[in-house]
Structure 1
Amino acid sequence: MSTPKIILYTNRACPWAHRAHIALKETGLDYEEVTIDLSKPREPWYLEVNPRGLVPSLSYNNEIITESGIVAQFIADAHPTHLLPPSTTPANALYRARLAFFVDAFFSKALPHFYSSLKAANEAERDQAAELLIAAVAKEVEPLLEEGKGPFFGGSEKITLAEVQSGSFLLRLLAFAKPQNGLVSAKLFGLLETVPRFKRWAEETVKQESVNFIWDEGVVVEKMRAKFAPKV
């Protein structure tokens, strides 16, 4: 296969765009990076690339792919690695279906409570959101993680597409709960002890170079503080 010409239109502070960086790093593909300023209206040239004005957008041999989950899936499908097996057998198709269900469970059932904690009006609401987050993790996510094997989805020793899709959000979940950052309930770290497989999964995921190489905790925390004013 010839080397593709790849341009990634991105903003490194955006967790959705971050997914594309992880996928590209894991597959070892070279790419040109174009930063899109999300703090102002999109310039007309970028709206021609992506009429929605969102990031990431991927130009792959002049074909445009948009929406972060689709971009990450495309990279994993176009350049097969440990991230995702091809759907050439029923067993592989079943694995892919279970991975998709796992990612959906994390994003649709658990993560909304994380954002509720960010938006809470007071500490009591923050704490309640943290409790609901961990309850959702215990019910929906923890049972889908294998015990006694590798820390990643399916017991893998290497990250999979599940971690590509989730890693940037796990970075934020763990970082925002630090006492010095104080963006979500301080009880969250203690509550994580009740979901050991999820805790291991999150902590091992954020250690991966492909997940954290563009991560700037200080910049992201300050942006979140500006967006979500301290509650009194």
Structure 2
Amino acid sequence: MSLAKIIPPKPIKLYCCIICPWAARTWIALTQANVEFEYIEIDLKNKPDWFLKEVNPGGKVPTLKYGDEYLIESAITTEFVADLVPEAKLLPKDPFKLAQSRLLSDRFSEFLFPVYRKSIYGGDVSALNDIFDAIDKFVPYLVNAKPFFDGSEVPTLAELLVAPFVSRIYLVLESDIGSKDVLTKLSTDPKYAYFHTWATNLIASPGVAGTFDKAVNLAHLAERITSLKAN
């Protein structure tokens, strides 16, 4: 039996794109928090005139409309959701733990995001072999992930910010365009068990699982990587 949706103080509309990992951050947070909102898909290759004229002249997603006001930039819109719905427990209550969680997100950007950028966004799939060194540097900041940061039963805001990139890395590794050897090492080497367990738990969490269309995203990523290789 599903829980009743949380009704926000003002109506929420999320202008998003199913293949955009940045936009996915706020979509994941809204879904994880079980908030009622309206999802509006934006084709980034053919942005509607009404979106550019009436919503966001910059054409960026995510754009979040709260009542009659608009917010942009994925980190900001996602944190707004976490602040708006404290009962979702996306933010650690302890100020020190909150700071630590933000460091987690920062260190993911420093160590693991470059692997994503080069291998998937840049089309050099062989760069996924660099993930092990990146994980070694990142794991010290993944404090007590049982199953999530600091023993939280639900992913924290920092984890939701990195989730779209984790899910896409694993999606490529599981596919024919990725390296099965990398995935095998991640899933069988005891050295990486802590990270792998956390990553798979994150991908299986309601916010991620409820928003991540694997077939659509795999088709998009395969096309992108193939195109980049051809060039």
The CA RMSD measured in Å over matched residues stands at 2.2
SS of aligned partner of 1:65: strand
Distance 1:162 1:10 in 2: 20
Relative to the length of structure 2, the TM-score reads 0.85
Distance 1:18 1:9 in 2: 10
SS of aligned partner of 1:64: strand
Per-residue deviation, 1:41: 4.3
Which of the two has greater helix per residue? 2
Paired AA for residue 117 in structure 1? S
In structure 2, the CA distance between the partners of 1:93 and 1:47, relative to structure 1 (3 Å rule), is farther
Distance 1:183 1:69 in 2: 30
Cα deviation code 1:7-65 (max 9, x no counterpart): 11111221111111111122222111111111224525435422321111001111111
SS of aligned partner of 2:14: strand
The yes-or-no answer on 1:84 pairing with 2:91 is yes
The yes-or-no answer on 1:206 pairing with 2:213 is no
The yes-or-no answer on 1:222 pairing with 2:204 is no
Query: Partner residue of 2:136?
Result: 138
Query: Partner residue of 1:6?
Result: 12
In structure 2, the CA distance between the partners of 1:65 and 1:16, relative to structure 1 (3 Å rule), is same
In structure 2, the CA distance between the partners of 1:2 and 1:70, relative to structure 1 (3 Å rule), is closer
Query: Partner residue of 1:112?
Result: 114
Paired AA for residue 58 in structure 1? L
SS of aligned partner of 1:187: helix
Distance 1:169 1:47 in 2: 30
Query: Partner residue of 2:77?
Result: 71
Query: Partner residue of 1:89?
Result: none
Paired AA for residue 135 in structure 2? V
2:36 pairs, out of 30, 40, 57, with: 30
Deviating runs (4+, > 4 A) in structure 1? none
Per-residue deviation, 1:75: 0.8
Unaligned runs of 5+ in 1: 87-91
CA contact (8 A) 2:17 2:43 kept: yes
Query: Partner residue of 2:3?
Result: none
Paired AA for residue 187 in structure 1? D
CA contact (8 A) 1:47 1:53 kept: no
Distance 1:158 1:184 in 2: 29
Per-residue deviation, 1:99: 0.9
CA contact (8 A) 2:11 2:66 kept: yes
1:186 pairs, out of 152, 157, 180, with: 180
Mapping of 1:141-180 within 5 angstroms?
Answer: 141-147=138-144, 150-178=146-174
Paired AA for residue 5 in structure 1? P
Per-residue deviation, 1:167: 1.7
